[in-house]
Structures are given as C-alpha cells and as structure tokens.
C-alpha cells in the first residue's frame, strides 16, 4: 500500500469536517438495508444484494418476504421455492444455500436474534464485513463507517484511503478517520458520492474538498 496516497490525518479530519457541513448526514428516516423493517430482514436483504442491482434486490426481497419473514418460516420452504422467489437478484442457488445456513445458525446459535456486533454478524453464514457494517450502521445505529460502492470510490479517490477492496477501505477508515466522524461518516460519503463525486464525471469544480483531493491534484485540474 502506498502510504503517500493517503492524506495526512489532519487533512482527513478537514475533509470530514467539510463534508459534515455540506451533506445532510444520518437522517431520522434512515432504515435498514433496502428499507427493511427488522434486523433479520435487513441481513437477508444485504445477502441478496450481493452483485445485484437495487431494483433486482427489491424484487427478490419482496418475493421472498411475501412467503416468509422469519428464520423458521424460510427454513420451512423448500429450496426450489426460495430460489424461485429470489431469482431476480441472481446467484439464486448459492444465495438460497446461504439463506438456509443463515437461518439455521440464527436459530441454533443466537435464539433467533440477530447479533449487533461486527464479530457476531460476521459469524453468520453469508455475512462479510461490508454486510455486517451496513447492518450495524443502518439497522442498529452503530458508530461505524460502512463501505459500499460509493464510499469505497470516494474514499480512495480523495485519499482518505488507498485500498483495492471494500474491506481494506473499511479498515483504513476505521484507523484514519476521526472518532467523531464514525456516526455519520458513511452518510456524508455516500451522499457526497451521489451528488458531487460521481463515478464517471466528478463535479470537481464545485467540490468542497478539491484542494485536498488526491484525484483533483493528480489530474491537473487544480
């Protein structure tokens, strides 16, 4: 990892401070992944969202939760019924196996209660760090900067991190971001990534952190 690509901690804090002033942050209406109403359905939705567009994930979760909304109810369905329901999100056979293993683990090891810690969530079949952090942040309101596609892109473009994977980005943000930014950091970054630091043509001229941004400096736009 090229440490020179990562901004100094004082500059990282400045970036978060400016984003906190420019972006709405966590709102009272923030819900679990894909707007699910409870932790179990949030975890299931997060698993189904892997390599799936939001619209396809919504179709899959709507289909599945029309049939079952608890671990016991999903286990009562045969694999064919689950796979048919979640087919829109792709990889439906593998995801069916993951869901069945998830439900079994929740029943046998957690008394049907979704754990609220990263360690506990990641012990569940099919749940990696990205999914665990997203559930912790959105569903349980934990002070953690969950890393999705937007957060991963923005963090590495600016220089908050220098990482190839979302998990590496999450670990570097946890190490480098100021503690006060953990609560709303995910929301500032994702809102910034959707409004200004967009994927194809970032709006650098109107960016509140362009004087610190590694990308802006490297492209010669500064």
Domain that holds residue 16: 3-26+145-218
Same domain, 130 and 170: no
Residues 87 and 40 in one domain: yes
Stretch 37-64: mean pLDDT: 94
Q: Which of 34, 58, 100, 130 is the catalytic position? A: 130
Token pair 């991190």 is found at 161
**Is the confidence at residue 31, as pLDDT, over 60?**
no
Q: Are residues 59 and 133 in the same domain?
A: yes
Given 94, 120, 138, the domain boundary residue is: 138
The verdict on 69 and 127 lying in the same domain is yes
Percentage, residues of the chain above pLDDT 90: 84
- pLDDT tens profile 113-133: 999 999 999 999 999 999 999
| Catalytic residue check, 62 | no
Q: Are residues 211 and 114 both part of a single domain?
A: no
Give pLDDT, residue 1.
Answer: 36
* 210 phi and psi angles, rounded to 5 deg: -65, -25
pLDDT single digits (tens) 82-113: 999 999 999 999 999 999 999 999 999 999 99
Q: What is the pTM of this model?
A: 0.85
Residues 119 and 173 in one domain: no
Residues 161 and 201 in one domain: yes
Q: How many domains does the chain have?
A: 2
Residue 29 confidence (pLDDT) above 80: no
Cite the annotated binding site for [4Fe-4S] cluster by residue number.
Answer: 197, 204, 207, 213
Chain segment 168-221, per-residue pLDDT in tens: 999 999 999 999 999 999 999 999 999 999 999 999 999 999 999 999 999 865
Whole-angstrom CA distances from 163 to 3, 152, 183 are 10, 8, 22
Active-site option among 35, 143, 148, 167: 148
If you average pLDDT over every residue of the chain, what do you get? 92
Of 18-27, 72-81, 114-123, minimum mean pLDDT range: 18-27
Same domain, 129 and 37: yes
The CATH number of whichever domain residue 193 belongs to comes to: 1.10.1670.10
Does 131 share its domain with 47? yes
CATH of residue 119: 1.10.340.30
Of 31-35, 68-72, 118-122, 131-135, the least confident: 31-35
Annotated active-site residue 31? The verdict is: no
Write down which residue in 138, 159, 185 finishes a domain. Answer: 138
Contact 169, 129 (CB under 8 A): no
**Residue 173: which residues within 8 A CB-CB, separation 6 or more?**
145, 147, 155, 160, 161, 185
Q: Based on the fold, state whether residues 65 and 94 are members of the same structural domain.
A: yes
125 with 181, same domain: the answer is no
pLDDT value for 220: 64
Burial annotation 96-110 (CB, 10 A radius, 16+ → b, else e): bebbbebbebbeeee
Q: End of a domain among 103, 138, 173?
A: 138
132 with 38, same domain: the answer is: yes
């Amino acid at each position: 990892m090229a440490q020179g690509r990562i901004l100094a901690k004082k500059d990282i804090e400045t970036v978060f401070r400016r984003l906190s002033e420019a972006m709405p942050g966590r709102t009272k209406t923030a819900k679990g992944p894909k707007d699910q109403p409870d932790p179990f359905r949030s975890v299931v939705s997060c698993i189904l969202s892997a390599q799936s567009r939001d619209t396809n994930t919504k179709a899959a979760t709507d289909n599945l939760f029309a049939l079952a909304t608890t671990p016991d109810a999903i286990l009562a369905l045969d694999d064919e019924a689950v796979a048919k329901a979640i087919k829109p999100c792709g990889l439906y056979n593998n995801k069916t196996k993951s869901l069945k293993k998830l439900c079994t683990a929740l029943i046998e090891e957690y008394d049907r209660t979704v754990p609220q810690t990263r360690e506990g969530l990641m012990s569940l079949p099919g749940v990696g760090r990205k999914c665990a952090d997203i559930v912790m942040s959105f569903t349980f309101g934990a002070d953690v900067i969950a890393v999705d596609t937007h957060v991963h892109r923005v963090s590495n473009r600016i220089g908050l991190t220098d990482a190839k994977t979302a998990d590496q980005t999450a670990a570097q943000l946890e190490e480098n971001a100021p503690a006060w930014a953990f609560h709303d950091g995910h929301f500032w970054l994702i809102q910034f990534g959707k409004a200004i630091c967009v994927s194809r043509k970032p709006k650098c001229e109107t960016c509140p952190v362009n004087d610190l941004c590694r990308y802006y400096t490297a492209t010669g736009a500064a």
